[in-house]
Chains A and B, each alone.
Chain A
C-alpha cells in the first residue's frame, strides 16, 4: 500500500511537469486578479491571517507564533506574499490524507474557501480536493448555532480570577435539555502549562504556547460548575449558517497553530473575538482592546452588537443550587438534613416527614454530602456508601414537591459596570485641602455598583491615586495598588469558607519626623465573615503588613493585628463599609497604626457612582483625620 502511494506520488510529480506550465499560467492569472482586487489588504484576509497593525512602525504583523501557519517566508509581516504563497500551495498535487498530512486546500480550508469564492476558481484548472478528515469533523459537530460561554470569575484561582470565555458549538441534534452533548472550542495554554501562581506569572510574559482545542461541553460543565463552583452564563449568538461554517473552517485551520499566550491581552477572550471576526468580517471586536482584555468586557462587546444575542441561559453552579435548596427548608428540616448525613436509615429519619417533602430533603442531603466529600470534610468510602443509600431512597419515592431553581441574577455579567474606573475627587486631610485623581484599569471592588460580578470578590489592579495639595501646589502619589484582592465569603450552618485578602503596592506611612513617606507595602490576612441579614456582612480578620522603604528604621517594618468591619446595603444602590484596623509593628521600625474608616458609595447608574470616605488614622501617636468625596466613572 505505502509503496503504491510512493509510486503514485512519484508519478504525480513526473506527470505534473507537462501540465505544470498550465498550472503556472492559471496561478499567474489568479495572482494578477488578487493583486488587482487588492485582496491582501481586505479585512477578511487580515482576520484570516490574524494580522494586526504594528504599534509604532507602519505595516502589520501576524499574531500566530507558528511558522507552519504562514506559507510564505515573510508571511508573518507580508500579507500579499502570504496570499500568493497560499494560492500556489493550492495547486499541490492530490495526496492521500493521513493523521499528519493534509492537502493545503484542506489544511487551510478557510483561506481556500474564501479565495475560491472571491476569485471564482475554475474547478478544471484548480481541482478541489475532497478533504475527508475535515468533512468527517464538521459532520460530527453538526453545528446549528454558536454560544459564548462565560464561567464567572473564580477568585480562589489566580488564572481565572477575571473569568473565562469559551465557544460552544451547538449541534442540530441537541436541544436545551441535552446541551451537555455540544462541543466547546477553548483557547488555552498547551499541556505543559503550570498551575496557579506560577501560571499567572509565566503567562504575563507570554512564556506559554496557547492553542485552540475541543472538548465535550459536559467536561467543561463538570470543571466549572461542579468542581470550581462557578456559575456559568451561556450567550446564544445570532450567526447565520454560512458564518458558522466559516468559523468552523477557520478553527480547523488554526488546529495546532500556536499563539503565545499572554494573560492580559492575547488570552482566551481575545482569541475568541478573532474567531467571530472571521465569521463576520464586518464585526469590529478586537480593535478596541489594546493592552488588556478582560473576559467580561469581551462578552459585553459582543452583547452590544445589534441583534447579536438570541438567548441568555444561566447555569447555576452546584453550590448555588444547593444554597437555593437549603434556603427553602424549615429549621426543623435543616436539622433532619444533618441527620440524613449520619448512618441512620433514611426511612427512619424521614418517618414523620410528609411524602411530598421527602424528595426535597433527600436531594438536598445528597447535594450537601457530595459538597462536603469534595471539600475533603468526609471519609470518602463512607460518603460514597451514604450517597448511594440516599439516592436509592430517593428512587423509591415517585414524586413530590420540586425544589426551586436559584433565581437568575440581575443584572447579568454583561450588564454590570465596565471594568475601567476613573475617579475625580475633593478632600481635606489634616487641615490640608486636596484634589484627587485616580485611575483603575481593572476590575471590581466591594463598593463598586453591585451586580454582574461575583458577590464578595474584589480585585483591583494597578489602582493609582494622585493628590494635588491646594496650599503647597504639590502633586503626590497617594497610593498605588498593584494588586488588591479581597475575598469576603460569609459562613452559615452548612458552609464554612475562610475569607482572605492580599494586596501589594506603594502606600504612605508617617515617619518619626512627621513626614508621610512612600513605602512598598504588602498586606495580607485571613478571616471569618457572617452574613444573611439583608445583605449585611460582619467580618473579622487577622492581618500582617510588611513595609519596606529606605526612610524606615532598618529599612522595614513588620506588623500584625486584627481588623473588624461591617458591610451594609440599606438600599440596592447604597453600600456602606465601616472598618476598624490595628497594626502593631513589632519588627524593624517599631510603631503602631490604628484606623477607623467609613466608606460609602451610591451608584447612580452602572457607569457612575459617588463615593464618600471618612477616616481617622492614628500613626505613631498622631491623629490624622481625612474626608474625600469623589465621582467615579466606569468606562
Chain B
C-alpha cells in the first residue's frame, strides 16, 4: 500500500517534470489521454498547483502569438481541441448522463443551434461507446469519433466538420 503511494508519487512527479519540459503548446490538442488525469497525491502533498504559479494553459495578456494563444485568448482553430484536452473525462461523464455543463459548453463551442441541442445530447449518449472508444482514447480519437457520429445524424451532420 505504502509502496503504491510512493510509486504513484514518483510517477506523477516524473509526469509533472515531463509536462514542465514540454513546449508551450501543451494543452493545444496534443492528445491528452482520457482518465489519465493528474494524480492528486502529488498536487496535495507537494502543492504543485499553487495560486502563485502560471500553469501551461495560462497565457500572458500581450504575449503575442504563442502556442495556442493569441495575446492570452485561445486561437480559434485550437478552441475545441484545447477544451477537450482539459475536459475529456468530464465530457465523457456528461455524454453518458446525457447532460451537463461540459457538454453544454462543447455544444456552444461547436456552434450547435439551440433547436439541435437535445439531438446533440441524445446522439452523444447513444453513441458513447463509439466516441469514447477505449479507456485510452485521446483528444484526437474523441474528435474523430464525434465527427463520425455527428455525420451519421441527419440533423447534426452540419456540425461534423466544425469539431
List residues of chain A with CB under 8 Å of any chain B CB.
98-100, 102, 107, 133, 136-137, 140-141, 156-160, 164, 173-174, 177-181, 183, 185-186, 188-191, 193, 195-196, 199, 203, 208, 211-216, 218-219, 222-223, 226-229, 251-252, 254-256, 261, 268, 359, 363, 366, 370-371, 373-377, 380-381, 383-385, 387-388, 391-392, 394-395, 398-399
Contacts and interface: CB of A to CB of B under 8 A. Distances in A.
Contact of A375 (B40, B62, B73): B40
Contacts of A211: 54, 60
- Secondary structure type dominating chain A contacts: helix
Nearest to B64: A99
Interface of B: 4-5, 8-9, 12, 27, 34-41, 43-55, 57-65, 70-74, 82-83, 86-87, 89-90, 92-93, 95-98, 101-102, 104-105, 108-109, 125-126, 128-129, 132, 134-136
A392 B54 contact: no
Contacts of B59: 213-215
A199 B134 CA distance: 40
Contacts of A137: 61, 70-73
B43 A228 contact: yes
B91 to A, nearest CB: 11
Q: Which of B43, B45, B61, B90 has the most CB of A within 10 A?
A: B61
A195 B128 contact: no
Given A252-B61, A384-B135, A136 B53 contact: no
Contacts of A391: 92-93, 95-96, 128, 132
Contact of A178 (B37, B64, B89, B101): B101
B35 A219 contact: no
A129 to B, nearest CB: 15
Contact of A177 (B45, B55, B93, B101): B101
Nearest to A269: B51
Contacts, number: 218
A228 to B, nearest CB: 6
Contacts of B8: 376
B52 A214 contact: no
A545 B108 CA distance: 57
A181 B105 contact: yes
B115 to A, nearest CB: 16
Contacts of A227: 37-38, 40, 43, 49
A159 B50 contact: yes
B35 A384 contact: yes
A610 B44 CA distance: 36
Contacts of A107: 62
Contacts of B45: 156
Given A137-B72, A375-B40, A395-B126, 9 more contacts: A99-B65, A137-B71, A140-B73, A156-B44, A213-B61, A228-B43, A228-B44, A255-B60, A392-B96
A391 B8 CA distance: 25
A228 B51 CA distance: 11
B132 A388 contact: yes
A468 B131 CA distance: 73
Contacts of A191: 53-54
A223 B59 CA distance: 15
Contacts of B35: 370, 373, 383-384, 387-388
A479 to B, nearest CB: 29
Contact of A385 (B53, B98, B108, B135): B135
B58 A186 contact: yes
Given A214-B73, A216-B57, A385-B135, A268 B51 contact: yes
A379 to B, nearest CB: 8
A317 to B, nearest CB: 12
A196 B108 contact: no
A375 B41 contact: yes
A-B pairs, top 3 by smallest CB distance, nearest first, are: A99-B64, A255-B62, A376-B8
A416 to B, nearest CB: 20
A158 B39 CA distance: 19
A483 B139 CA distance: 45
B128 A256 contact: no
29 contacts: A100-B64, A136-B71, A137-B73, A159-B51, A160-B51, A177-B101, A178-B105, A178-B108, A180-B105, A188-B52, A189-B52, A196-B47, A213-B61, A214-B72, A215-B58, A218-B83, A218-B87, A227-B37, A227-B38, A227-B40, A228-B49, A254-B61, A370-B35, A374-B38, A376-B4, A384-B36, A388-B135, A395-B95, A398-B98
Nearest to A98: B64
Contacts of B70: 136-137, 140
